[in-house]
Structure 1
Amino acid sequence: MNLSVASSMSHFLKISIFTIGGWIILNSSGHHPTLASLPGESLHGGARELTPTQKNEEVNLPLPPVEISQESAPPPFLISQATSELRVGVGDRLGIQFLTSPQYNTEAILQPMGSIELIGVGNLFILGMTLEQVEGAIAQVYQSAQLLENPPVRVTLLERPRATVPSLDPLPTLREERLEDPYTLGAGDQISIEIFQVPQYSGQHEILVNGMVNLPQLGSLSLQGMTLEEASQAIANAYENRRILRQPQVTIRLLNTRSVRVSLAGEVNRPGSYTMERQGSLFPTLTQALNTAGGITQLANLSAVEIRRPQRNAPDKIIRANLWDFVQQGNRANDPTLRDGDTIFLPTVTETNLAEMSRIPTISFNANAERPLNIVVIGEVFRPGPYTVTGAARTGAAGLPGGGGMAGVPPTVTRAIQVAGGIKPQADIRRIQIRRRTNLEEERIVEVNLWELLREGDSLQDVVLQEGDTVFVPIAPELNPEEAIQIAEASFSPDTIGVRVVGEIRGNGALRIPPNTPLNQAIVEAGGFNIRAHTRSVELVRLNPNGTVTRRTIEIDFGAPINDDNNPALRNNDVILVRRSTLATVSDTLSEITRPLDQTLGLFLFPLRIFNIFN
């Protein structure tokens, strides 16, 4: 604004007028700037309540003659970098200097909520302000708190975090420099509204369920979804548009925040809606929400987690996080803080990775890996069916459910097989399947090779199970005797199987022997052949899985290694029949023939035996 002002020497000077924080700066050619104030207003700025007449008509303020003086120059704090258009953001480190009260000098970092902490007054929201506005806001809050009277403040930007470079990747990895979204108001928030020099309109309010607050003389005003800065401007505009206050300076402080309500879907153990409380000034994080929902499943794609955040008057904002980067690198930017109304979605992996699946039970936001699981075991195990599996299972005798073992171990494939009585000798441990359903009710198959576990010690093959899994053990197309011996010694095979050796043997024929024990060894453990036995061959009676019974003659060769022809490996419930020799058979036949004659002769000789008694 340009005005002509009469001086004491009847000359007219052309001066420029502009304001900073309520000051009117008068600048003229060849002179230093001077200060003046508008009539009816405080020299140091602030809102002025309009009279009823002023509310309904335009206000014309005449400027009185102003004397240009060197002594009326503005205070030094007005001539600072505050005139810069630079706006402060989260992570900025600010130097705050009180020119007349150094005890309040401090350095402050702008927090994700958009506020800084000041000595004696607490938090002040300044996100998005210019340095000039920050200086005015700080001066105002100390004046309102009656700590300082019109304090001159200088604010300087000491440090700014490195800017984030957008990624061209459709699923960008979040970096540490990613700025947190400013806090937005909603139902349940308690706020303090301070209008400079108008204490009758200031006070504490709670945002109602519809997002409204009731303000003096103004009535209901919606602050739903606004940041503190936006809400301050909305209140100021409302008072000015209704001609209640002129140029009000409004400051909003957040006293108590509402609970954070989030929804989780996808590969989490308990999808649904959850209410999470803040821990002090900290908002809940993504991993804390996953933990609250029972942890993640082993089919979760941790590199592509999505957070959908509602925006006021705009489409939802999509935030992508890579939790693998958080787990492996400790990058906390990939564990963002949550806001009320967020929806978290964990997609399903397209391909299973045993290495990643083995890491999931060990991370902090996974469910309790030691809890019992309800699973089903079918195929070549001794007792197929549904079971409750823990990590403490251990197989004893074949066909008996496993128990005991170590505590604190997560349930795995081998533990499930042990619970089901152990693996059968004819099982194909190279192609064991874990049939697992996604949260979209689609079946995914994870194949494991327990032979690699036995041969190479590849522990990744012993996959940790999750609720509802089905373990399928197929039958092997052919058996390798050498491999069968190794499998029989594995922990997921039973300790013993039950066989019977009957017929011409010396000892007890009921045996408990290790799986795949050869036939020759079973005969020896049963006491060996007696003198009546046919030592060249025995009969092996076997109950097949389909319910049929096979019976075959095995030629005995105690020097033969384990093989399917004359020294086969035994299975549970096998029966070995040792026949009589030819001589024993003839002897037994003659005994049967002569037995009636012996009985007849016995009748005739009975009287003679009586006389022998008296003799």
Structure 2
Amino acid sequence: MIRSFLLLVCAVLAGWAPAVGAQQRPAAVSTPAAPEYRLGSGDVVRINVYQNPDLSLETRITEAGLVSYPLLGSIRIGGLSVTQAERLIADGLRNGNFVKQPQVTLVVAQIRGNQVSVLGQVNRPGRYPLEVAGMRLTDVLAMAGGVAQGGAESVVVSGVRDGRTLRQEIDLPALFAPGGGERNLVLLDGDTVWVDRQPLVYIYGEVQRPGPLRIEREMTVMQALAAGGGPTQRGTHKGIRVHRKAADGQVQVIEPQMDARVHDGDVVYVRESLF
């Protein structure tokens, strides 16, 4: 009787053990794989087949996306990922009874097919390759050395999406605000990134440091005057004038409030005090 009870307890405990262990094992976290680079026309690729040196080849992908490969002739690999291109060549060698178990390796030696242009106020303007799929605006700006000292805080990205012309202005500081990552645009082949010069306001008259000043974010007339060192002993805050070019090209003369914001190209004139 006692022996039967002990055997029953052991059986129950043995049945519980896997369940307990399963509860203690942490759940596996799946990380999404990064998208592969797509081969493009102009790319230089190096193809090797294990233990078949006669099938090694370094060639450039044509404008039609083709390469001429030994035994297989012209094959289209443009638009494929590296893995897909390797599989295509291996299947061709196997199905043609050229190699029984081909082990194909394809390496992109030079990227010429997928590039973007970065122009304007950056430290290293030029054309840069999209080395992997899914490269974003900040990745390409980093390759170009970042925004130069005289560059603006916003950039313009132009290109084509789904057959339609794209022109999008992106505020760079907003990319690093909470939720700003969604505005970090994914760049495609042929896109152009333009970084304009920093916006300037010009201040002259009875001011300590006349000349051009960088417009900081939401800068007011009072802040611009302070950046210029303030009025001289003969200057006055009263009667400040702002010369601003309108959309039709005409220059307007405005007598603004001190908390009014200045615009790019504004000319602020500080008058001399009459007393």
**TM-score with structure 2 setting the length:** 0.53
Partner amino acid for 2:246? R
Q: 1:277 aligns with which of 113, 119, 128?
A: 128
Q: 1:254 aligns with which of 97, 103, 108?
A: 108
Q: 1:219 aligns with which of 73, 77, 84?
A: 73
Deviation at 1:195, TM superposition (A): 2.0
Deviation at 1:226, TM superposition (A): 1.2
Quick check: 2:240–2:270 contact (8 Å CA) kept in 1? no
Number of the residue aligned with 1:409 = 214
1:341 matched to 2:152? The reply is: no
Can you list the C-alpha shifts for 1:235-277, whole angstroms capped at 9, x where unaligned? 223334544344533221223322753379xxx989xxx8523
Over the matched positions of the two proteins, sequence identity in percent amounts to 22
Equivalent residue of 1:328, what SS?
Answer: coil
Query: In the aligned structure 2, how far is the partner of 1:308 from the partner of 1:161?
Result: 33
Gaps of 5+ in 2: 1-26, 229-235
Number of the residue aligned with 2:98 = 244
Deviation at 1:184, TM superposition (A): 0.9
Q: 1:367 aligns with which of 192, 196, 213?
A: 196
Q: 2:271 aligns with which of 491, 494, 504?
A: 494
1:193 matched to 2:63? The reply is: no
Equivalent residue of 2:39, what SS?
Answer: coil
* Count of aligned residue pairs for this structure pair: 220
Alignment of 1:40-439 (within 5 A): 160=29, 181-246=35-100, 248-258=102-112, 260-262=114-116, 275-278=126-129, 285-287=136-138, 288=141, 308=160, 325-329=174-178, 334-335=183-184, 338-342=187-191, 367-369=196-198, 391=201, 393-396=203-206, 404-405=209-210, 409-410=214-215, 435-436=246-247
Can you list the C-alpha shifts for 1:415-435, whole angstroms capped at 9, x where unaligned? 7xx9xxx999698x8xx9763
**Greater relative CO (CA pairs within 8 A, separation 6+):** 2
Deviation at 1:233, TM superposition (A): 2.1
Can you list the C-alpha shifts for 1:44-90, whole angstroms capped at 9, x where unaligned? xxxxxxxxxxxxxxxxxxxxxxxxxxxxxxxxxxxxxxxxxxxxxxx
CA gap of 1:308–1:426, structure 2 versus 1, over 3 A, is closer
Query: In the aligned structure 2, how far is the partner of 1:327 from the partner of 1:434?
Result: 33
Partner amino acid for 1:464? H
Q: CA RMSD for the aligned pairs?
A: 5.4
Deviation at 1:210, TM superposition (A): 3.6
Equivalent residue of 2:58, what SS?
Answer: strand
Query: In the aligned structure 2, how far is the partner of 1:426 from the partner of 1:335?
Result: 41
Deviation at 1:369, TM superposition (A): 1.8
Deviation at 1:283, TM superposition (A): 9.3
Quick check: 1:413–1:464 contact (8 Å CA) kept in 2? no
Gaps of 5+ in 1: 1-157, 164-178, 345-364, 371-389, 397-401, 438-442, 472-490, 497-512, 515-615
Equivalent residue of 1:234, what SS?
Answer: helix
Deviation at 1:341, TM superposition (A): 3.0
